[in-house]
Structure 1
Amino acid sequence: MDVVTARERLESMLVELDRSIGVLRGDPGALRDRSPADAGADLTDADRNQAMLEVATRQRSSVLEALKRMNEGRYGLCVDCGVPVPEGRLEARPEAARCVQCQSKRERRR
């Protein structure tokens, strides 16, 4: 994927992530008289909402880092080993910072 296309995709992703984060951070609304079951459902929804917000925020950081690498001329190179990230990986995940092998090592360490 050429750099222009990658930049367009990353910038589009950033706009969508910002929109999603804005929605997820929305005002939960005023509390109403609710049954305990409804309150439990609200808590579950709030937990799910918080998890989605955390994922979107992490992905946003990844996109911003990819744009930074692009501006520095390092986009498409693994941040760990320096080899080119496979084209197919960048097509699927334009924000990818690592080659498949280094990403696998990183995930195993977690």
Structure 2
Amino acid sequence: MPHLTEMQWTRLRALLDEQDARIRRQLENLGASNTEGPQEGPLDEADLADQEMAGQTSGIMLNHYREELAKVEAARERMAQGQYGVCMDCGEPIPFLRLQAQPVAKRCLACQASRERRLA
């Protein structure tokens, strides 16, 4: 990471730590909301549908947060291997401002835009 100063490096590690902590809090909150217990009294079809929808939504959110946590862990692994901040497509340095805005970025802005156009 020769293109990053020590101060930038420290800032990016802190951003990843903050993102990790935020995601873990979200996972804890999601887990807590799933253990609130069953509703008392008889359930009608609308109640059952609401519970099913809430369960599906919780599952989707759980997967989302797990994916985000995996991205943070992958960024830390790239740091440990000395590959962090280097675009995985073109091999050019990813600018600090992009990394500051998106600490888990694996691609420079040009390569990311190109990838998104291909996938659209």
- Partner amino acid for 2:61? M
- Max Rg structure: 2
Separation (CA, whole Å) in 1 of partners of 2:82 and 2:108: 17
Q: Which residue does 2:104 correspond to in 1? A: 95
Distance 1:88 1:74 in 2: 17
CA RMSD of aligned residues (A): 2.0
Residue of structure 2 in register with 1:9 after alignment: 15
> For residue 14 of structure 2, what is the amino acid of its counterpart?
E
The one-letter amino acid paired with 2:37 is G
* 1:64 equivalent in alignment to 2:73: yes
Q: CA deviation at 1:4?
A: 0.5
Q: Runs (4+) of structure 1 moved beyond 6 Å?
A: none
Partner-residue secondary structure (3-state), 2:61? helix
Cα distance, 1:102 vs structure 2: 2.4
For residue 56 of structure 1, report the CA deviation from its aligned partner. 0.9
Q: Find the counterpart in structure 2 of residue 73 from structure 1.
A: 82
User: How many pairs does the alignment contain?
Assistant: 110
Residue in structure 1 matched with residue 62 of structure 2 by the alignment: 53
Question: How far apart in 2 are the matches of 1:67 and 1:97?
Answer: 12
Deviation at 1:12, TM superposition (A): 1.6
